[in-house]
Amino acid sequence: MSRTRIVITGIGGLCSLGTDAAAIWKSMVAGVVGVGEIVNRPLHDVKTRIGSEIKELPRHDIDPKRLVTMDRYSLLAAIAAAEAVRGARLEISPDNSTRIGAVIGTGVCGWEAIEEGYRVTLEEKKPRIGVFTVPRVMPGAPAGQVSMTLGVRGPVYGVTSACSSSNHAFASAMDQLRLGRADVMLAGGTEAPLVFGVIKGWEALRVLSKDFCRPFSLDRSGLLLGEGAGVVVLETLEHALARGAPILAELAGTGMSADATDIVAPTVEGPTAAIRACLADAGLSPSDVDYVNAHGTGTKANDIIETQALKAVFGDRLPGISVSSTKSMHSHCLGASGALEMIACVMAVREGIIPPTMGFNEPDPNCDLDVTPNAARHRPVRAAISNGFAFGGTNAVVAVKPFHG
């Protein structure tokens, strides 16, 4: 039985590498590392004062009255979604808005409002906090704000599965389109974790690097946190062709699994199952894949586990596959990472360029992959997969390929 084909007609994003998708991709290809001192938020007593921060937001036309109801992660999502819609040349009107939906992933929620509440009550001794604290904090807020700023009235909701949130959002949006509940879905992820409480929590896990994120390098010492958002416009092929939309790539398939073992320690079996499920859903064989955008966090254990999972799936084919972790440039944006990595995959299949893994100093014999060290590489990409393996053992993988009518 033939399945509904899903295409990508617009992309939008912002992070430390740039405030639109084109700028992000240009920085990735150039190997720009967007790590620096965190300056936009007071961090008080933290050891880690570096990360990948958006120093200045781009201009936008969001109503100031709506801005007071938004936490930063919702604002980032709304900006990215608006860019994706513009790029897709999608006109949203009362006539079609009920057939357009949005699903936005996030891993942490609105910590900006949470910390404002603590400061107001505990430091300033005020009796009440901001009236919009709850709607700012809730994990579904970014999806709702995207809906309201763009007038989207179809299936709208949030998903949260830690670092796999964006990929789960893509999978869920694809399901809505395949089920016929919508013709268009805005899908992606957003995160703004560069605040005191979140950083202190990650420090307690002892996985933060003191300088840079160096995935797969023998001297890697952990991850860094970043903020950002990414959104793509997904459409059924039939709908995109009917309106003459610009088709950037095809979302070929998705795969999901759960480790069901430990809240933080990953397994090989879970990621392996998710990759295999993705390839099966996409109708791809291991020999069709030319690029893997790795989860690649830069922690000792996770990079080794991911390497073992890739070996289990691709076997003898693996040495011929280009792998890279763009987290080496934009850091770990948690629930937004997969959305930023989707930009990398879409542009890799379009332009035949593999973005690099930066900061790679010395091969790790336990991570014997072609990690595209320190410089982008030109090669045709027939298909790319992007891995998301999260705390809680929730795994989600997506497959992108060039569009051929």
Q: Which residues are catalytic?
A: 163, 295, 332
H or E segment and range at residue 297: none
Nearest to 36 by CA among 48, 21, 23: 48
DSSP bridge pairs for 323 = 292
Residue 106 near residue 73, CB atoms below 8 Å: yes
Q: CB under 8 Å to 96, separation ≥6 — which residues?
A: 183
**What's the CA angle centered on 170, arms 188 and 386, to 5 degrees?**
95
CA–CA separation, 133 and 181 (whole Å): 32
For the beta sheet containing 322-324, the strands, ordered from the edge strand earlier in sequence to the opposite edge, are 156-159, 100-105, 184-191, 228-236, 6-15, 249-258, 394-401, 384-390, 291-293, 322-324
3-class state of residue 128 by DSSP: coil
Tokens of 13: 């994003």
- Report DSSP state, residue 138: S
CA–CA separation, 271 and 395 (whole Å): 6
Measured in degrees and rounded to the nearest 5, phi and psi for residue 98 equal -75, -10
Cα 52 to Cα 35: distance, rounded to the nearest angstrom: 5
Report the alpha-carbon distance of residue 95 to residue 92 in Å, rounded. Answer: 8
